[in-house]
A and B are shown apart, each in its own frame.
Chain A
Amino acid sequence: MSDDLTRGLRQLAKNAEVPPPVPGAEVRRVAVRRRRRRRTTAVAAGGTLAAALAALLTVSLGNLSRGTDDRPAPAASPVGTPATPATADATVDLSREVLVIDSREFPVLSGSADAPTPLPTGRMTVTGKKSAKLASGRTWVISLRAPDGSTTFLGSRADVEEAPGDYTGTPGWIGLRRDEARWVYERLSEGSVVEVTGTAPTRDPAPPSAAPPAPSVTPAPTATPGRSVRPEQAPAGTATPSAMVDAGPSGSS
Protein backbone atom coordinates (compact mmCIF):
# COMPACT_ATOMS: atom_id res chain seq x y z
CA MET A 1 0.00 0.00 0.00
CA SER A 2 2.74 2.45 0.95
CA ASP A 3 4.64 1.88 -2.25
CA ASP A 4 1.46 2.11 -4.26
CA LEU A 5 0.58 5.24 -2.40
CA THR A 6 3.96 6.81 -3.03
CA ARG A 7 3.76 5.91 -6.69
CA GLY A 8 0.22 7.24 -6.97
CA LEU A 9 1.06 10.46 -5.21
CA ARG A 10 4.14 11.00 -7.34
CA GLN A 11 2.15 10.57 -10.52
CA LEU A 12 -0.52 12.84 -9.22
CA ALA A 13 1.95 15.55 -8.28
CA LYS A 14 3.99 15.20 -11.45
CA ASN A 15 0.90 15.59 -13.51
CA ALA A 16 -0.21 18.67 -11.66
CA GLU A 17 3.07 20.51 -12.10
CA VAL A 18 2.68 23.81 -13.87
CA PRO A 19 5.23 26.41 -14.82
CA PRO A 20 5.13 29.66 -12.86
CA PRO A 21 2.30 31.82 -14.19
CA VAL A 22 4.31 35.00 -13.59
CA PRO A 23 8.05 35.61 -13.55
CA GLY A 24 10.00 35.77 -10.31
CA ALA A 25 10.40 39.50 -10.77
CA GLU A 26 6.64 39.91 -10.45
CA VAL A 27 6.61 37.94 -7.21
CA ARG A 28 9.31 40.19 -5.81
CA ARG A 29 7.43 43.24 -6.97
CA VAL A 30 4.27 42.18 -5.16
CA ALA A 31 6.27 41.54 -2.00
CA VAL A 32 7.94 44.93 -2.16
CA ARG A 33 4.69 46.73 -2.90
CA ARG A 34 2.98 45.01 -0.02
CA ARG A 35 5.75 46.01 2.35
CA ARG A 36 5.59 49.60 1.16
CA ARG A 37 1.86 49.59 1.58
CA ARG A 38 2.15 48.24 5.10
CA ARG A 39 4.58 50.96 5.94
CA THR A 40 2.39 53.66 4.43
CA THR A 41 -0.57 52.37 6.35
CA ALA A 42 1.42 52.28 9.53
CA VAL A 43 2.63 55.84 9.08
CA ALA A 44 -0.81 57.12 8.23
CA ALA A 45 -2.44 55.40 11.14
CA GLY A 46 0.40 56.13 13.51
CA GLY A 47 -0.71 57.57 16.81
CA THR A 48 -4.28 56.42 16.45
CA LEU A 49 -5.74 53.44 18.16
CA ALA A 50 -3.85 50.21 17.94
CA ALA A 51 -7.04 48.40 17.18
CA ALA A 52 -7.58 50.45 14.07
CA LEU A 53 -4.05 49.84 12.94
CA ALA A 54 -4.38 46.13 13.39
CA ALA A 55 -7.62 46.06 11.48
CA LEU A 56 -6.25 48.11 8.61
CA LEU A 57 -3.11 46.03 8.36
CA THR A 58 -5.09 42.86 8.31
CA VAL A 59 -7.17 44.21 5.53
CA SER A 60 -4.21 45.43 3.55
CA LEU A 61 -2.63 42.03 3.79
CA GLY A 62 -5.83 40.35 2.85
CA ASN A 63 -6.30 42.53 -0.15
CA LEU A 64 -2.83 42.00 -1.41
CA SER A 65 -2.67 38.33 -0.82
CA ARG A 66 -3.41 37.38 -4.39
CA GLY A 67 -0.04 36.92 -5.95
CA THR A 68 -1.16 38.09 -9.31
CA ASP A 69 -3.09 41.14 -8.36
CA ASP A 70 -2.03 44.15 -10.28
CA ARG A 71 -3.65 46.98 -8.56
CA PRO A 72 -1.57 50.09 -9.01
CA ALA A 73 0.54 51.01 -6.04
CA PRO A 74 -1.01 53.57 -3.72
CA ALA A 75 -0.31 57.03 -4.97
CA ALA A 76 3.39 57.26 -5.37
CA SER A 77 5.69 58.99 -2.94
CA PRO A 78 5.84 58.09 0.75
CA VAL A 79 5.52 61.72 1.75
CA GLY A 80 3.07 62.69 -0.96
CA THR A 81 -0.18 61.68 0.69
CA PRO A 82 -0.14 62.55 4.33
CA ALA A 83 -3.82 63.41 4.34
CA THR A 84 -4.87 59.98 3.15
CA PRO A 85 -5.78 57.97 6.21
CA ALA A 86 -5.53 54.69 4.39
CA THR A 87 -6.48 53.59 0.96
CA ALA A 88 -10.04 52.42 0.72
CA ASP A 89 -10.33 48.67 0.76
CA ALA A 90 -13.17 48.75 -1.71
CA THR A 91 -14.83 51.36 -3.82
CA VAL A 92 -18.44 51.50 -4.83
CA ASP A 93 -19.11 53.68 -7.82
CA LEU A 94 -22.80 54.38 -7.91
CA SER A 95 -22.60 56.02 -11.31
CA ARG A 96 -21.15 52.98 -12.95
CA GLU A 97 -22.95 50.62 -10.60
CA VAL A 98 -19.90 48.63 -9.75
CA LEU A 99 -18.02 47.66 -6.66
CA VAL A 100 -14.26 47.57 -7.14
CA ILE A 101 -12.18 45.48 -4.80
CA ASP A 102 -8.84 43.86 -5.31
CA SER A 103 -8.80 44.88 -8.98
CA ARG A 104 -12.08 43.13 -9.53
CA GLU A 105 -15.34 44.75 -10.47
CA PHE A 106 -18.74 43.45 -9.54
CA PRO A 107 -22.06 44.87 -10.68
CA VAL A 108 -24.15 46.26 -7.88
CA LEU A 109 -27.72 47.23 -7.34
CA SER A 110 -27.64 50.46 -5.42
CA GLY A 111 -30.99 52.10 -5.69
CA SER A 112 -31.54 55.14 -7.79
CA ALA A 113 -30.95 58.79 -7.24
CA ASP A 114 -34.66 59.51 -7.35
CA ALA A 115 -35.39 57.00 -4.62
CA PRO A 116 -36.89 58.47 -1.44
CA THR A 117 -33.56 58.20 0.37
CA PRO A 118 -30.58 57.99 -1.93
CA LEU A 119 -27.48 56.31 -0.65
CA PRO A 120 -25.04 58.49 1.20
CA THR A 121 -21.58 58.70 -0.25
CA GLY A 122 -18.14 59.11 1.19
CA ARG A 123 -15.81 56.93 3.17
CA MET A 124 -17.70 54.32 5.07
CA THR A 125 -16.41 51.98 7.70
CA VAL A 126 -17.38 48.38 8.15
CA THR A 127 -19.06 48.10 11.56
CA GLY A 128 -20.39 44.57 11.44
CA LYS A 129 -20.75 41.41 9.40
CA LYS A 130 -23.39 38.76 9.27
CA SER A 131 -23.15 35.67 7.14
CA ALA A 132 -26.49 34.14 8.13
CA LYS A 133 -29.47 34.42 5.90
CA LEU A 134 -31.75 37.23 6.89
CA ALA A 135 -35.50 37.15 6.59
CA SER A 136 -35.21 39.13 3.40
CA GLY A 137 -33.23 36.31 1.83
CA ARG A 138 -30.05 38.27 2.02
CA THR A 139 -26.80 36.78 3.10
CA TRP A 140 -23.19 37.87 3.51
CA VAL A 141 -24.26 41.20 4.84
CA ILE A 142 -21.82 43.89 5.85
CA SER A 143 -22.99 46.99 7.65
CA LEU A 144 -21.30 50.26 6.79
CA ARG A 145 -21.36 53.47 8.69
CA ALA A 146 -21.22 56.66 6.68
CA PRO A 147 -19.59 59.86 7.88
CA ASP A 148 -23.04 61.26 8.62
CA GLY A 149 -23.74 58.40 11.00
CA SER A 150 -26.24 56.64 8.77
CA THR A 151 -25.97 52.94 8.11
CA THR A 152 -25.86 51.30 4.74
CA PHE A 153 -25.76 47.59 4.09
CA LEU A 154 -23.79 45.69 1.55
CA GLY A 155 -24.75 42.14 0.79
CA SER A 156 -26.37 39.62 -1.44
CA ARG A 157 -29.89 40.03 -2.64
CA ALA A 158 -31.84 36.99 -3.56
CA ASP A 159 -33.81 38.94 -6.13
CA VAL A 160 -30.83 40.18 -8.09
CA GLU A 161 -29.19 36.92 -9.01
CA GLU A 162 -29.89 37.53 -12.66
CA ALA A 163 -28.73 41.05 -13.20
CA PRO A 164 -28.13 43.48 -10.38
CA GLY A 165 -28.23 46.44 -12.68
CA ASP A 166 -31.72 45.83 -13.98
CA TYR A 167 -33.83 46.65 -10.97
CA THR A 168 -34.49 49.65 -8.90
CA GLY A 169 -32.82 48.98 -5.63
CA THR A 170 -33.95 49.30 -2.09
CA PRO A 171 -32.65 52.43 -0.38
CA GLY A 172 -29.90 51.77 2.09
CA TRP A 173 -28.77 48.61 0.37
CA ILE A 174 -25.98 47.88 -2.01
CA GLY A 175 -26.87 44.54 -3.51
CA LEU A 176 -24.51 42.04 -5.03
CA ARG A 177 -24.90 38.63 -6.54
CA ARG A 178 -24.70 36.04 -3.81
CA ASP A 179 -21.39 34.45 -4.72
CA GLU A 180 -19.81 37.80 -5.31
CA ALA A 181 -21.21 39.09 -2.04
CA ARG A 182 -19.49 36.25 -0.26
CA TRP A 183 -16.23 36.95 -2.01
CA VAL A 184 -16.43 40.56 -0.90
CA TYR A 185 -17.50 39.49 2.58
CA GLU A 186 -14.39 37.38 2.95
CA ARG A 187 -12.21 40.33 2.12
CA LEU A 188 -13.65 43.03 4.30
CA SER A 189 -13.50 43.00 8.05
CA GLU A 190 -14.58 45.37 10.73
CA GLY A 191 -12.74 48.61 10.30
CA SER A 192 -12.27 48.21 6.57
CA VAL A 193 -12.94 51.32 4.59
CA VAL A 194 -15.36 51.34 1.69
CA GLU A 195 -15.46 54.42 -0.45
CA VAL A 196 -18.80 55.19 -2.03
CA THR A 197 -18.69 57.67 -4.86
CA GLY A 198 -20.89 58.95 -7.64
CA THR A 199 -24.61 59.16 -7.95
CA ALA A 200 -26.92 56.34 -8.75
CA PRO A 201 -28.37 56.81 -12.21
CA THR A 202 -31.94 57.95 -12.42
CA ARG A 203 -34.08 55.10 -13.61
CA ASP A 204 -35.90 55.58 -16.85
CA PRO A 205 -37.48 53.25 -19.39
CA ALA A 206 -34.18 52.63 -21.14
CA PRO A 207 -32.63 49.43 -19.88
CA PRO A 208 -29.45 50.34 -18.04
CA SER A 209 -27.60 47.37 -19.46
CA ALA A 210 -27.91 48.81 -22.96
CA ALA A 211 -26.39 52.11 -21.98
CA PRO A 212 -22.71 52.65 -22.50
CA PRO A 213 -20.59 52.82 -19.38
CA ALA A 214 -21.40 56.14 -17.77
CA PRO A 215 -18.94 58.60 -19.23
CA SER A 216 -16.96 60.45 -16.65
CA VAL A 217 -19.56 61.57 -14.18
CA THR A 218 -16.87 61.15 -11.59
CA PRO A 219 -13.78 60.50 -13.62
CA ALA A 220 -10.93 59.91 -11.24
CA PRO A 221 -12.19 57.95 -8.27
CA THR A 222 -13.72 55.07 -10.12
CA ALA A 223 -11.41 52.22 -10.94
CA THR A 224 -8.61 52.66 -8.49
CA PRO A 225 -9.47 52.17 -4.86
CA GLY A 226 -6.04 53.38 -3.93
CA ARG A 227 -6.56 56.83 -5.29
CA SER A 228 -10.12 57.62 -4.66
CA VAL A 229 -9.90 59.89 -1.68
CA ARG A 230 -11.66 63.08 -2.45
CA PRO A 231 -9.90 66.10 -1.09
CA GLU A 232 -12.77 67.52 0.87
CA GLN A 233 -13.18 64.29 2.75
CA ALA A 234 -9.63 63.50 3.50
CA PRO A 235 -9.08 65.45 6.71
CA ALA A 236 -12.32 64.38 8.32
CA GLY A 237 -11.77 60.85 7.16
CA THR A 238 -8.48 60.64 8.97
CA ALA A 239 -10.12 60.09 12.27
CA THR A 240 -13.05 58.16 10.99
CA PRO A 241 -11.83 54.61 10.66
CA SER A 242 -10.37 54.36 14.12
CA ALA A 243 -13.33 56.00 15.74
CA MET A 244 -15.66 53.67 13.95
CA VAL A 245 -13.73 50.60 14.84
CA ASP A 246 -13.71 51.61 18.41
CA ALA A 247 -17.36 52.44 18.58
CA GLY A 248 -18.66 49.71 16.35
CA PRO A 249 -20.54 46.75 17.72
CA SER A 250 -18.44 43.63 17.89
CA GLY A 251 -20.67 42.13 15.23
CA SER A 252 -21.22 38.46 14.67
CA SER A 253 -18.75 37.49 12.05
Chain B
Amino acid sequence: MTEEEFDAFYSAAFPRLTGQLYAFTGDHGEAQDVVQEAFVRAWDRRRDFLVDEAPEAWIRTVAMRLAVSRWRRARRWLELVRRTPPPQHVPGPDPERAVLVAALRTLPDAQRMALVLHHLCDLSVEQVASETGAPVGTVKARLSRGRAALARELATAEGEGEDHRVR
Protein backbone atom coordinates (compact mmCIF):
# COMPACT_ATOMS: atom_id res chain seq x y z
CA MET B 1 0.00 0.00 0.00
CA THR B 2 1.55 3.28 -1.05
CA GLU B 3 1.33 6.45 0.98
CA GLU B 4 -1.32 7.86 -1.33
CA GLU B 5 -3.37 4.69 -1.14
CA PHE B 6 -3.13 4.64 2.61
CA ASP B 7 -4.15 8.28 2.93
CA ALA B 8 -7.11 7.79 0.63
CA PHE B 9 -8.17 4.68 2.50
CA TYR B 10 -7.79 6.52 5.80
CA SER B 11 -9.90 9.48 4.70
CA ALA B 12 -12.61 7.24 3.34
CA ALA B 13 -12.76 4.70 6.13
CA PHE B 14 -12.12 6.82 9.21
CA PRO B 15 -15.59 8.34 9.45
CA ARG B 16 -17.37 5.04 8.92
CA LEU B 17 -15.18 3.26 11.43
CA THR B 18 -15.58 5.91 14.12
CA GLY B 19 -19.34 5.60 13.66
CA GLN B 20 -19.15 1.85 14.14
CA LEU B 21 -16.81 2.13 17.08
CA TYR B 22 -19.09 4.69 18.64
CA ALA B 23 -21.90 2.15 18.48
CA PHE B 24 -19.58 -0.24 20.25
CA THR B 25 -18.10 2.08 22.88
CA GLY B 26 -20.83 4.63 23.32
CA ASP B 27 -18.15 7.26 23.59
CA HIS B 28 -17.23 9.66 20.80
CA GLY B 29 -13.76 10.46 22.08
CA GLU B 30 -12.81 6.87 22.66
CA ALA B 31 -14.15 5.80 19.28
CA GLN B 32 -11.90 8.33 17.58
CA ASP B 33 -8.90 7.45 19.71
CA VAL B 34 -9.02 3.73 19.06
CA VAL B 35 -9.65 4.12 15.33
CA GLN B 36 -6.78 6.56 15.06
CA GLU B 37 -4.51 4.21 16.96
CA ALA B 38 -5.55 1.29 14.77
CA PHE B 39 -4.56 3.27 11.68
CA VAL B 40 -1.18 4.07 13.19
CA ARG B 41 -0.61 0.37 13.79
CA ALA B 42 -1.84 -0.42 10.32
CA TRP B 43 0.81 1.74 8.72
CA ASP B 44 3.46 0.24 10.94
CA ARG B 45 2.41 -3.24 9.86
CA ARG B 46 1.38 -2.51 6.35
CA ARG B 47 3.05 -5.63 5.06
CA ASP B 48 0.72 -7.90 7.03
CA PHE B 49 -1.96 -5.48 6.24
CA LEU B 50 -1.50 -5.90 2.50
CA VAL B 51 -1.89 -9.62 2.81
CA ASP B 52 -5.22 -9.13 4.46
CA GLU B 53 -7.79 -8.65 1.75
CA ALA B 54 -10.10 -6.67 3.99
CA PRO B 55 -8.13 -3.75 5.41
CA GLU B 56 -11.17 -2.07 6.87
CA ALA B 57 -12.06 -5.19 8.82
CA TRP B 58 -8.47 -5.37 10.03
CA ILE B 59 -8.66 -1.82 11.36
CA ARG B 60 -12.03 -2.47 12.95
CA THR B 61 -10.78 -5.59 14.69
CA VAL B 62 -7.75 -3.79 16.07
CA ALA B 63 -9.83 -0.82 17.15
CA MET B 64 -12.35 -3.02 18.91
CA ARG B 65 -9.62 -4.91 20.70
CA LEU B 66 -8.12 -1.64 21.81
CA ALA B 67 -11.51 -0.56 23.04
CA VAL B 68 -11.85 -3.59 25.30
CA SER B 69 -8.28 -3.54 26.53
CA ARG B 70 -6.38 -0.95 28.48
CA TRP B 71 -7.86 1.76 26.35
CA ARG B 72 -11.17 1.15 27.96
CA ARG B 73 -9.78 1.44 31.42
CA ALA B 74 -8.06 4.65 30.48
CA ARG B 75 -11.18 6.09 28.90
CA ARG B 76 -12.45 8.03 31.85
CA TRP B 77 -9.07 9.56 32.41
CA LEU B 78 -8.68 10.49 28.82
CA GLU B 79 -11.92 12.36 29.03
CA LEU B 80 -10.82 14.13 32.14
CA VAL B 81 -7.53 15.04 30.61
CA ARG B 82 -9.13 16.37 27.51
CA ARG B 83 -11.09 18.67 29.78
CA THR B 84 -13.83 18.89 27.21
CA PRO B 85 -15.58 15.61 27.67
CA PRO B 86 -17.62 14.70 24.64
CA PRO B 87 -21.32 14.79 25.35
CA GLN B 88 -22.44 11.34 26.43
CA HIS B 89 -25.94 11.79 25.18
CA VAL B 90 -26.07 13.96 22.16
CA PRO B 91 -28.84 16.33 23.06
CA GLY B 92 -30.25 16.08 19.64
CA PRO B 93 -33.53 15.64 17.91
CA ASP B 94 -33.37 11.94 18.67
CA PRO B 95 -33.72 10.84 22.28
CA GLU B 96 -34.19 7.30 20.97
CA ARG B 97 -30.56 7.24 20.02
CA ALA B 98 -29.45 8.24 23.49
CA VAL B 99 -31.59 5.49 24.96
CA LEU B 100 -30.05 2.95 22.61
CA VAL B 101 -26.54 4.06 23.52
CA ALA B 102 -27.33 3.76 27.19
CA ALA B 103 -28.88 0.32 26.71
CA LEU B 104 -25.90 -0.89 24.68
CA ARG B 105 -23.55 0.20 27.41
CA THR B 106 -25.22 -2.12 29.87
CA LEU B 107 -24.29 -5.19 27.80
CA PRO B 108 -21.11 -7.17 28.32
CA ASP B 109 -18.41 -6.41 25.75
CA ALA B 110 -18.69 -9.75 23.99
CA GLN B 111 -22.42 -9.41 23.40
CA ARG B 112 -22.11 -5.82 22.33
CA MET B 113 -19.34 -6.65 19.92
CA ALA B 114 -21.34 -9.49 18.38
CA LEU B 115 -24.40 -7.26 17.98
CA VAL B 116 -22.46 -4.44 16.40
CA LEU B 117 -20.55 -6.67 14.00
CA HIS B 118 -23.61 -8.62 12.96
CA HIS B 119 -26.30 -5.97 12.88
CA LEU B 120 -24.31 -2.88 12.03
CA CYS B 121 -21.30 -4.10 10.10
CA ASP B 122 -23.28 -6.79 8.27
CA LEU B 123 -20.99 -9.65 9.15
CA SER B 124 -22.46 -13.12 9.03
CA VAL B 125 -22.49 -15.19 12.19
CA GLU B 126 -19.54 -17.15 10.82
CA GLN B 127 -17.60 -13.98 10.09
CA VAL B 128 -18.30 -12.66 13.56
CA ALA B 129 -17.04 -15.96 14.92
CA SER B 130 -13.80 -15.76 12.98
CA GLU B 131 -13.28 -12.10 13.77
CA THR B 132 -13.82 -12.55 17.51
CA GLY B 133 -12.20 -15.95 17.76
CA ALA B 134 -15.27 -17.54 19.30
CA PRO B 135 -17.15 -20.65 18.15
CA VAL B 136 -20.23 -20.11 16.01
CA GLY B 137 -22.51 -21.46 18.71
CA THR B 138 -21.11 -18.97 21.19
CA VAL B 139 -21.67 -16.11 18.80
CA LYS B 140 -25.27 -17.17 18.26
CA ALA B 141 -25.81 -17.32 21.99
CA ARG B 142 -24.24 -13.89 22.44
CA LEU B 143 -26.43 -12.42 19.75
CA SER B 144 -29.62 -13.81 21.16
CA ARG B 145 -28.76 -12.93 24.75
CA GLY B 146 -27.61 -9.52 23.70
CA ARG B 147 -30.79 -8.84 21.78
CA ALA B 148 -32.91 -10.03 24.68
CA ALA B 149 -31.04 -7.91 27.19
CA LEU B 150 -31.21 -4.93 24.90
CA ALA B 151 -34.94 -5.35 24.41
CA ARG B 152 -35.38 -5.49 28.17
CA GLU B 153 -33.27 -2.39 28.69
CA LEU B 154 -35.09 -0.48 26.00
CA ALA B 155 -38.47 -1.47 27.41
CA THR B 156 -37.42 -0.30 30.86
CA ALA B 157 -36.04 2.94 29.49
CA GLU B 158 -39.27 3.55 27.64
CA GLY B 159 -41.21 2.99 30.82
CA GLU B 160 -39.09 5.47 32.67
CA GLY B 161 -39.27 8.11 29.99
CA GLU B 162 -36.50 10.67 30.05
CA ASP B 163 -34.34 8.80 32.47
CA HIS B 164 -30.68 9.49 32.11
CA ARG B 165 -28.91 6.32 32.96
CA VAL B 166 -25.47 7.72 33.34
CA ARG B 167 -23.18 5.75 35.53
> A: which residues have CB within 8 A of B?
1-2, 5-6, 8-25, 27-28, 30-32, 34-35, 65-68, 104, 179-180, 182-183, 186
Chain A residues with CB under 8 A of B119: 2, 5-6, 9
Contacts A13-B22, A20-B14; A66 near B28 (Cβ below 8 A)? no
Chain B residues with CB under 8 A of A22: 36
Contacts A30-B40, A183-B81; A9 near B18 (Cβ below 8 A)? no
Q: Once the chains are docked, how many angstroms separate the CA of A67 from the CA of B8?
A: 18
Closest to B13 in A: A20
Q: Once the chains are docked, how many angstroms separate the CA of A20 from the CA of B12?
A: 9
- B20-39, CB < 8 A from A: 20, 22-23, 28, 31-33, 36-37, 39
Q: Once the chains are docked, how many angstroms separate the CA of A221 from the CA of B94?
A: 51
Q: Once the chains are docked, how many angstroms separate the CA of A179 from the CA of B19?
A: 28
Chain A min CB distance to B28 (Å): 6
**Contact yes or no, A5 B147, CB < 8 A:** yes
Contacts A17-B16, A186-B73; A9 near B116 (Cβ below 8 A)? yes
Chain A residues with CB under 8 A of B36: 20-22, 27, 67-68
State the main secondary structure of chain A at its contact with B.
Answer: helix
Chain B min CB distance to A139 (Å): 13
**Contact yes or no, A12 B15, CB < 8 A:** no
Pairs A-B, 4 closest by C-beta atoms: A24-B7, A67-B36, A16-B22, A13-B19
> Looking at chain B, what size class is its interface with the partner chain?
35 or more
**Contact yes or no, A9 B77, CB < 8 A:** no
Instruction: Say if the beta carbon of B158 comes within 8 Å of chain A.
Output: no
**Contact yes or no, A25 B16, CB < 8 A:** no
Closest to B100 in A: A8
Chain B residues with CB under 8 A of A1: 147, 151
Closest to A25 in B: B7
- B127-165, CB < 8 A from A: 147, 150-151
Chain B residues with CB under 8 A of A183: 74, 77-78, 80-81
What are 25 A-B pairs at a CB distance below 8 A?
A: A5-B119, A8-B96, A9-B23, A11-B97, A13-B19, A13-B22, A13-B23, A14-B19, A15-B90, A17-B16, A17-B19, A18-B15, A19-B14, A20-B15, A22-B36, A24-B3, A27-B36, A27-B39, A34-B44, A179-B81, A182-B77, A183-B74, A183-B81, A186-B74, A186-B77
Chain A min CB distance to B144 (Å): 10
